[in-house]
Amino acid sequence: DLSLKEAFKKDFYVGAALNNRQISGQDANSIALVKQQFNTISPENLLKWEAVHPQPDKYNFKPADDYVAFGQANKMFTIGHTLMWHQQTPKWVFEDADGKPASREMLLKRLEEHINTVVGRYKGKIAGWDVLNEAIDDQLGDLRKTKWLEILGEDFAAKAFEYAHKADPKAELYYNDYSLYRPEKRAGVIKLVKSLQAKGIKVAAIGMQGHYGLTKPSIEQVEASIVAFSQLGVHVNFTELDIDVLPNPSRRQGADIAETFGADAKYNVYTTGLPDSVQQQLTKRYADLFALFHKHRDVIDRITLWGVTDADSWLNNWPIRGRTSYPLLFDRKYQPKPAFQAVVQAA
Ligand code: XIL
């Protein structure tokens, strides 16, 4: 059988996010799949600020070093994620020694030092960085109200991109976000990227995370954003693809669950395995998405799945713990699912 990377060799890279267990050698089965199937990797958590730089004067480079070494050894297009985000960033970053809000000068200095240290360490080895993650508000498409905006002001994004470019001029720099098929959010990202471009900053690609459901968003909605972003002269990547087959209790307070599974249903509905009918929906969903990606292969450089097997997926714990979801292309026994075959055939 063709592997994913072979099937899409002429189109784009195909990859997966790796976790600490895989990187530290505790999941040999997953690593074997990664080597066989993928030619790009992303770090699920280990390069986030809280992981790599937990205290002001303490960096924790071991997992990241191992991750980058794995990418180098296997000639993979190695991604860094992420330099500026409002989550998984320690509180101290935004505070002075007395616990008061940091000044603009203090925070800029910290940001520059962090980016220079982390990006500089992997210069020439990490090929592309998610410089800025999730900076656009879901509803309005305005800049999200974060500490970065509050303390630095509107040029926070430009600063992060400038520091990253200085630390590794050859690395590709990305803006990454979710729900970018939403018209308001799409418009917000376009505005942000244009403002960066007007300052002479090169945004190599917009990363559409791709945390999708079985039916939403529609293929047309996703396509509209691919097209709109490509008109900015940037590439488009799908950076955290997974398809949640479960209802999402946080979004509509259980309304989805009741509608789909009846009033008595709980959120964790497929504990003993995925019913065939849902497996088929998942397969079709992946096939439709990869057909869309293939169609837009000229602007798409990379498709990255957010995990290797269903067992690894963050969706087993999000938005609440104790879910059993089936969002990826390999099952809990490391076997390809029907969706895998469908994806290979979409090439
Ligand atoms: C998630 C990880 O998968 C989890 O392990 C972690 O607990 C929380 O973050 N958007 C992103 C990713 O950009 O970094 C997030 O990853 C998922 C949503």
3-state secondary structure labels for all residues of 78-97: EEEEEEECCCCCCHHHHECC
DSSP of 44-70? SSTTSHHHH--BTTB---HHHHHHHHH
Question: What pLDDT sits at residue 346?
Answer: 95
Name the band, by pLDDT with cuts 50, 70 and 90, for residue 261. Answer: low
Percent of the chain exceeding pLDDT 70 equals 95
Name the band, by pLDDT with cuts 50, 70 and 90, for residue 265. Answer: low
Report CA(317)–ligand 1 centroid distance (Å).
11
Question: What pLDDT sits at residue 1?
Answer: 81
Catalytic residue annotation: 134, 240
251 pLDDT above the threshold of 70:
no
Nearest to 130 by CA among 306, 290, 299, 329: 306
Q: Which of 18, 136, 239, 318 to mutate to test the pocket of ligand 1 (most atoms within 8 A of CB)?
A: 318
Question: For residue 262, what are the contacts with CB-CB under 8 A and spacing of at least 6?
Answer: none
* Structural domain boundaries enclosing 156: 4-346
Nearest Cα residue to atom 15 of ligand 1: 44
User: Which domain CATH number covers 111?
Assistant: 3.20.20.80
| Cβ(45) – ligand 1 distance below 6 Å | yes
290 pLDDT above the threshold of 90:
yes
DSSP of 163-191? HHHHH-TTSEEEEEES-TTSHHHHHHHHH
pTM of the model: 0.96
- Number of domains observed in the structure of the chain: 1
Interface ipTM: 0.99
Average per-residue pLDDT in the chain? 95
Taking residues 142-146, report their average pLDDT. 97
Higher-pLDDT residue of 260 and 342 is 342
Ligand 1, residue 211: give the atom nearest the CA: 18
| Cβ(314) – ligand 1 distance below 6 Å | yes
Nearest Cα residue to atom 16 of ligand 1: 44
245 pLDDT above the threshold of 70:
yes
Question: What pLDDT sits at residue 253?
Answer: 53
| DSSP three-state, residue 71 | helix
Percent of the chain exceeding pLDDT 90 equals 89
| Cβ(270) – ligand 1 distance below 6 Å | no
Taking residues 204-218, report their average pLDDT. 97
